[in-house]
Amino acid sequence: MAVLEVTFKLLEALTIGRLIAYIALFTVGSFIVDFTWKPRYSKSLPRVGYGDGLLGTIKNWFFYVTRFPSWADEGYEKYIKKGHAFVVPSSPSRPHEIVVPRSQTGWLLEQPDRILSAQQAQKDALYSDYQFVGEDDHFSVQTIHRNLARHLPGLIPGVQEEIQDAIDKIFGKDTENWKSINLFEAWLGIIPQTTNRVIVSRPLCRDKEFLDSQVAFADAVVRNSIIFNMFPRVLLPLVAPFFVLSNWWHWRRSYLRAKDMIEERLRAMERKISGVDPSYEPPEDMVTWLIRQAYADNLKSELDPVKISKRLLPIEFAAIHTTVMAGHNLLLDLFSSDPKLGYLDAIREETARVLAESGSTFWTKQSLSRLYRTDSAIKESLRLSHMARALTHRKVAAPEGITNAAEGWHAPHGAYLMLDLAGTHRDPDLYPDPDRYNAFRFSRVREEWEASRKEGAAADSDEELRIMRLGMVTTSPEYLPFSHGRHACPGRFLVAHELKMILWYILQNYEIKPLPEKPKTVWFGCNVIPPVKVNIEVRRRKGTV
């Protein structure tokens, strides 16, 4: 009775005003606790923003959403261009980050994972412990590294089939009337279908409910990551499970569509491996690779339909989100460029000529590699149109931290280091006239070199190597959309092939009205929100099938 009386008295005393005050006090206390847990950086490192004391940190949190790009720009000009690192404020849930100068890229990326971890940095950025329905992405990423590049040449014809089917459905075949379509939604119709030809093969790659679930899952990961950035980490165990309910729902929907296929593939591959049906040849896709890898590593726990479907999620997220953004920016850059520059006509001519010279109606790895102008147009868009301020992050995993040999500063355990993508890509010392989209910035030299070789110019191995490095999939300290080093994106070769074939098919088969100007993007902290409401006018070109 005494306990009940005390409870009733407490409830009577708990007015709405007091409840709000308690919640506010608890939230403020959580931010303070979070602040005390975060790593402290060497005083020798210069800062931008409002400093790293408690008051300065609170100001940084308050202004992070709107001022992060200007802070990063300030640090790049003051410090990075002089070869010095600096500290930039971060969102409330994350420690400040040390921005490492380009001259120290090798030092940063050559550190072993036990000292500087790319995987831990990525997991923290995406809040993977909450978002990917209880599975980490290590096995999935390892499987992609071991299989994608090796099997990609044989996958290109299938990807081309899906590209043509998806674009025809979305753009239509009316040669008389213009059709208005939302560009971003168009990419969300093209990329999931084409990418899933590699992930789950047909017919599932054309299953609308499966694809919609994967797109919704990717959207949920992006949305939740932005939301979680604004919470103190001490509160995430309380709030994150509520927000990720949508992730579980979308995964469940996709699993129910994929379940029968995965179970049948498991049975068929078990019969093949056991010798019952040695002639069976499974489709070369991510599902097959996961099963094959599980047998190779003797990981029986991985031979489970539920687990396999969950292993697909980080691959689906990475492939859908990044490629849609890249493709969306590419068409915005091209169709907002002055038509007098002739970019579209030149790419249309090149793609038609190279495919005709190959003697086939299907692209190959070799023929796609000869699309210098098309490759350059995509690379230039990736250089100019960012998805985030930085895509190369490392978390200090070593308990003792790490000391920078060049400058002497120390980064403790739990600290974050990054390379500034946007600053590098818009540096006039690296790229003349860096704020202008110059579609053939990288192809002119390649075409001139090839022409000189045809005329009998002497071979120069050093020059040839330099020319080959101009391709969009070749990363460097000056070109970072796929990161750099041993952790560079393993899917970038598939992305390159997809975007080239998509651009080829659209330009050969459709007319698109130019855009008067490129729509503005919006920065939200370190992330870019694309202009998703852009509509374009399209019409099928006469004389095409």
Which H, E and C letters describe 293-305, residue by residue?
HHHHCCCHHHCCH
276 vs 315: CA distance, rounded Å: 32
User: What is the DSSP pairing of strand 416-419 with strand 392-396?
Assistant: antiparallel
159 vs 196: CA distance, rounded Å: 9
Sign of the dihedral defined by the CA atoms of residues 436, 442, 448, 454, in that order:
negative
Q: Peptide bond preceding 46: is omega within 30 degrees of 0, i.e. cis?
A: no
127 vs 264: CA distance, rounded Å: 33
Which of 119-127's residues contact partners 24+ apart within 8 Å by CB, and which partners? 120/395, 120/397, 121/393, 121/394, 121/395, 121/416, 122/393, 124/94, 124/395, 124/416, 125/225, 125/393, 126/221, 126/225, 127/224, 127/225, 127/228, 127/236, 127/240
Sign of the dihedral defined by the CA atoms of residues 161, 167, 168, 173, in that order:
negative
Sign of the dihedral defined by the CA atoms of residues 356, 359, 363, 366, in that order:
negative
205 annotated among ligand-binding-site residues: no
Rounded to 10 deg, the angle between the 208-229 and 183-199 helix axes is 110
Choose among 151, 144, 446: nearest CA to 281.
151
- The H helix count followed by the E strand count for the chain is 20, 12
Distances (CA, A) of 288 to 147, 283, 313, 495: 10, 7, 15, 20
Strands of the sheet with 535-540, listed across from one edge: 179-182, 535-540, 510-512
Bridge partners (DSSP) of residue 116 are 396
**For residue 24, what are the contacts with CB-CB under 8 A and spacing of at least 6?**
none
Sign of the dihedral defined by the CA atoms of residues 291, 297, 299, 300, in that order:
positive
As annotated, the binding site for heme includes: 489
Binding residue ranges = 489
